[in-house]
Amino acid sequence: MISFEDVHFWYGERESESKVTPVLQGISCVLREKEFVVLLGRNGSGKSTLAKHCNGLLLPKKGAVLVDGMDTRDTSVLWEIRKRVGLVFQNPDNQLVATTVEEDVAFGPENLGLPPAEIRKRVDEALEKVGMIEYKKREPHTLSGGQKQRVAVAGVLAMRPKYLVLDEATAMLDPEGRAELLQLLQELRDEVGILHITHNVEEALLADRVLVIDGGRIVAEGHPREVFLVGRAIEQWGLELPQIVDVALLLWKDYPDLFKVLPLSPHELVDALCSYS
Amino acid sequence: MFILVENVSFTYLPNTPFAVQALCNVSFAVERGESVAILGRTGCGKSTLVQHLNGLLIPQEGRVVVDGVDTRVRGAALREVRRKVGLVFQYPEDQMFEESVFREVAFAPRNMGVEGEELENRVRWAMTVVGLDYDALKDKSPFELSGGQMRRVAIASILSMKPEVLVLDEPTAGLDPQGRTMLLGKLWELRKQWGLTIILVSHNVEDVARIAERVVVLDKGKIVFDGSVREFFADEERMRQCGIIPSPLLQAAFLLRRKGFAIHPPLAPFDFYLEIKEKVLAGKRPCSVEM
Ligand SMILES: Nc1ncnc2c1ncn2[C@@H]1O[C@H](COP(=O)(O)OP(=O)(O)OP(=O)(O)O)[C@@H](O)[C@H]1O
Ligand SMILES: Nc1ncnc2c1ncn2[C@@H]1O[C@H](COP(=O)(O)OP(=O)(O)OP(=O)(O)O)[C@@H](O)[C@H]1O
Ligand SMILES: [Mg+2]
Ligand SMILES: [Mg+2]
């Protein structure tokens, strides 16, 4: 479990808290093993800052982040934490460092000190999973936006982390690539704890749990069916409703007995409509 | 014809073992004031194509003509093309180099001779259009911003030169839902106010539905569809062939059509809600009314 305990954070080494507006203002939340959590929130609300706390890339100024009980501020366990928590950055250019795609993906496993044959296997497997195996000899900077993003994801998968933190990893993917990555996340669900940051509210519908952050605080939390029941009031956090939920809530107001539970998918909506008499 | 792309082909790293043909004999034209979306699978050549529209890339074969000027010219005429056609990059970091947000957004207009109060007003205006707080952010480094804030700066720094054509490569990637709605709304207004021409690359079907009137689809460097948004959204099979997955709203509409309801492909949730009431639930009374 990754657990945030009243985490406060602000940028700037020397600044004291009174001079700045902290970016994280008392975050308490958890990511359990094998749990799929989606984190939503407006631009600048603190999502990437929170993500970088999960593997000790940033350290809390107050409070603590614990990964399976290990404190990220304890330098003696930082290595073990980095092994367990894989982080995909918002901009893949910040992640792709090597001269070929396969070296890039091998970078993590090499650092784990794995034997070459095992590295080979993991690299091929990871590139296969994201559909980039044919590109393994290419230089990362010659790839298109979406291709880079896939390689960045492969690099983290090859580490076989116990927790996966994805910071807008679907942002540049084409619809098929997005669907494939979401499918892959569904498959990983039984093995890996996933924290998926996205602006696409439709993706939140797949989550076990949705977290909404605003102004550095967690302002809503729960199953998507509960969280989206707030209706258009969700706009107070810079968000909008998923399309089907939006339509369903409008209809529900006019026809109070149309749904038993809030439909989330096109199928759920259409089934309810067709069985209504 | 305002923008003409004629038989353009482009290969990266030509004459090497790593050669990649990114565009293959692409032709299309855009009229002043049009709003066109360019779609297609990852790696199909969208970014390569749009970089041709302001002369950043020069066609290896064929030609691109902007308002009568062939982009193969050099010097002043090419600078004129760059001034007319503003291009917002796919990754905002790729276009930023100044040390403050103000300087970044001021860069292009300053180069065009705008200065003093007018410059400040211009920067303030551009930042407001994209929903950035001028006073809070103008002195920050662009590299100390969140992803979505950086995206907004990138868009503002092109808007500030008041281009005649705005070319946006995945402009809403990284924007929060409200920011996205606001930006698309503002672009629509600018189109009405200035006759701004908009060319947008997007993987997001909802963006396309909200802002574009015409859709151009690329597949492996070739144009495979060029027509109206309504026409494109009416044909589920073609969308899927082009690698576009219909939005949940369209999927629900297609499901209802298969069940025999004459639903138009909706562009917004509210349209769909009205249509469902009229065509699916018509004659069925809510039980609360019956009681
Ligand atoms: N600098 C480069 N050197 C070599 N090949 C490149 C370069 N840039 C792009 N390519 C290749 O050219 C093809 C088209 O790339 P482009 O960036 O135009 O795609 P795109 O349609 O914008 O994709 P995406 O949706 O992923 O952004 C891709 O196969 C890509 O790998
Ligand atoms: N390196 C930095 N130095 C100073 N301030 C920063 C830095 N990185 C981010 N910030 C500020 O911290 C706040 C939170 O940023 P963060 O990147 O966590 O937001 P976010 O929720 O990920 O937003 P987005 O949706 O735009 O990616 C923002 O106000 C941002 O300007
Ligand atoms: Mg972020
Ligand atoms: Mg691109």
Average pLDDT along chain B: 92
> For residue B39, what is the DSSP state?
E
Which residues in chain B belong to E strands, given as ranges? 3-12, 20-30, 35-39, 61-66, 69-70, 85-88, 165-169, 197-201, 214-219, 222-228
Nearest-by-CA chain A residue for B251: A266
Q: Is the pLDDT of residue B289 over 60?
A: no
With cut-offs at 50, 70 and 90, classify the pLDDT of residue B288. Answer: very low
Q: B112-121, B150-159, B242-251: which has the minimum mean pLDDT?
A: B242-251
DSSP string of B132-188, one letter each residue: --HHHHTTS-GGGS-HHHHHHHHHHHHHTT--SEEEEESTTTT--HHHHHHHHHHHH
Distances (CA, A) of B55 to B60, B148, B179, B199: 12, 27, 30, 15
The residue-averaged pLDDT of B17-40 equals 95
What is the SS3 assignment for B251? helix
> For residue B277, what is the DSSP state?
I
Q: Is the pLDDT of residue B160 over 90?
A: yes
Nearest-by-CA chain B residue for A242: B248
Distances (CA, A) of A1 to A89, B115, B120: 21, 55, 50
Q: Is the pLDDT of residue B290 over 80?
A: no
- CA A216-B184-B255 angle, 5° bins: 95
Which residues in chain A belong to E strands, given as ranges? 2-9, 24-31, 36-40, 62-67, 70-71, 85-88, 163-167, 193-197, 209-214, 217-222
Q: Is the pLDDT of residue B99 over 80?
A: yes
Distances (CA, A) of B172 to A106, B40, B151, B204: 32, 16, 8, 8
The residue-averaged pLDDT of B146-163 equals 95
Which residues of chain A fall short of a pLDDT of 70? 15, 17-18
Instruction: Give the per-residue pLDDT at B286.
Output: 56
Domains of chain A as residue ranges with CATH: 2-241 (3.40.50.300)
The residue-averaged pLDDT of B123-135 equals 96
Instruction: Give the per-residue pLDDT at B291.
Output: 39
The residue-averaged pLDDT of B78-93 equals 92
Q: Are B91 and A93 in contact (CB under 8 A)?
A: yes
H/E stretch holding B79: helix B76-84
Question: With a threshold of 0.95, does the pTM exceed it?
Answer: no
Residue B3 C-alpha to ligand 2 middle, in angstroms? 38
Tens digit of each residue's pLDDT (9 = 90 or more) over B201-255: 999 888 898 899 999 999 999 999 999 998 998 888 999 998 888 889 999 999 9
Query: Which of A49, A255, A264 is the best substitution to test chain B (most B C-beta atoms within 10 A)?
Result: A255
A residues 202..231 contacting B (CB < 8 A): 202
The residue-averaged pLDDT of B65-91 equals 92
Tens digit of each residue's pLDDT (9 = 90 or more) over B257-268: 999 999 988 888
Q: Is A73 on the interface with B (CB under 8 A)?
A: no
Q: Is the pLDDT of residue B285 over 70?
A: no
Residue A243 C-alpha to ligand 3 middle, in angstroms? 23
> For residue A259, what is the DSSP state?
-
Q: Is the pLDDT of residue B287 over 60?
A: no
Q: Is A235 on the interface with B (CB under 8 A)?
A: yes
Helix pair A175-188, A145-157: axis angle to 10 deg: 10
Question: Contacts of residue B40 in chain A, CB cutoff 8 Å?
Answer: 174
With cut-offs at 50, 70 and 90, classify the pLDDT of residue B137. Answer: very high
Tens digit of each residue's pLDDT (9 = 90 or more) over A39-62: 999 999 999 999 999 999 999 999
**Subunit contact A269:B146, Cβ cutoff 8 A:** no
Distances (CA, A) of A22 to A19, B158, B168: 9, 31, 33
Q: Are B30 and B83 in contact (CB under 8 A)?
A: no
Instruction: Give the per-residue pLDDT at A145.
Output: 83
With cut-offs at 50, 70 and 90, classify the pLDDT of residue B40. Answer: very high
